[in-house]
Amino acid sequence: DQQVKQNSPSLSVQEGRISILNCDYTNSMFDYFLWYKKYPAEGPTFLISISSIKDKNEDGRFTVFLNKSAKHLSLHIVPSQPGDSAVYFCAVGSGNTGKLIFGQGTTLQVKP
């Protein structure tokens, strides 16, 4: 029973354009939402997070949007760069437990 879904296994965009990665979750009790980036043969790297009291958080080229009513979050990368090519995982968690539940990832390819 998947509580976190990333329905697009892959995404390809042109350098300089916007990349939009999406994630849906099922349980409205989650209160923290995170994005991780993973290169081959490396561990995931934390990118950006947002708590349930906000609907947007921005850090440089990365912005995370949270739509609680739709149980949906997205990651916008603009402008996209070839070095952004990686697998992106969304993760949801509860501040009480510290447990993170991950989606299965979206592979982003940014073409020069």
Q: Tell me which of 19, 80, 89, 108 binds another protein, using CB under 8 A.
A: 89
3-state secondary structure of 30: coil
Q: Examine residue 1 and tell whether it contacts another protein (CB under 8 A).
A: no
Cα distance between residue 92 and residue 81, in whole Å: 26
Let me know: does 46 contact 36? Beta carbons within 8 Å.
yes
**Listed ranges 10-18, 20-28, 77-85, 100-108: which one lies at the site for another protein (CB under 8 A):** 100-108
Q: Examine residue 93 and tell whether it contacts another protein (CB under 8 A).
A: yes
Cα distance between residue 9 and residue 18, in whole Å: 17
How many Å separate Cα 3 from the centre of its chain? Answer: 15
Positive or negative torsion for Cα 64, 66, 70, 72? positive
- Binding residues with another protein: total (CB under 8 A): 26
Binding characters for another protein, 31-70, by CB under 8 A (x = yes): xx-x-x----xxxxxx--x-x-------------------
Residues that bind another protein (CB under 8 A): 31-32, 34, 36, 41-46, 49, 51, 87, 89, 93-102, 104-105
